[in-house]
Amino acid sequence: MKLKSIVAILALIALPVCAEAQQQKAPPKPTKADAQRVIKIVSADKAKTQTYCDIAKLGEEMEQADQKKDEKKLNELAQKAEALGAKIGPEYVALIEGLQEMDPKSKDLDEIGGMLEALDKLCDKK
């Protein structure tokens, strides 16, 4: 999955969280160390790896629904992805929320997205 697609999917997944977050303070900007921690957590646990891969599949479906302008399907898929993300853990949720807040043209976002490709490669092996 390409970085821009990942960012778009993350933004879509985080939409329900954003409404809540507006009442609270913005999530902290994620760091490369945060991404490394999440990669380690996900890659060390087969169930979490599978959940991450399931989220990636939902992300592809979300892209298709977005292209078709199917808001109902998009929201349904986003809710499923959000529920799956919670199963991975709070570190993953915090990373996703933080990435959603970053400038899409940010060098840091590019670097973190590149790091997350390691998890995508685990999905490709299946």
* Alpha carbons 81 and 56: distance in angstroms, whole number: 9
CA atoms within 13 A on the CB side of 46: 2
Q: What is the CA radius of gyration of the chain?
A: 14
Is the pLDDT higher at 22 or at 60?
Answer: 60
How is residue 38 written in tokens? 């999440």
- Percent of the chain at pLDDT > 90 equals 39
- Structure-derived torsion over alpha carbons of residues 51, 53, 55, 61, reported in degrees to the nearest 10: -140
The separation between CA 111 and the C-alpha centre of its own chain, rounded to angstroms, equals 15
Domain locations in the chain? Answer: 3-121
Given this model, what pLDDT does residue 104 score?
Answer: 85
Band of pLDDT at residue 71, cut at 50, 70 and 90? confident
How is residue 12 written in tokens? 């879509």
The single-letter DSSP state of residue 24 is S
Given this model, what pLDDT does residue 23 score?
Answer: 52
How is residue 13 written in tokens? 């997944």
Q: What is the pLDDT of residues 3-40, one digit of tens each?
A: 545 555 555 555 554 444 455 677 788 999 999 999 99
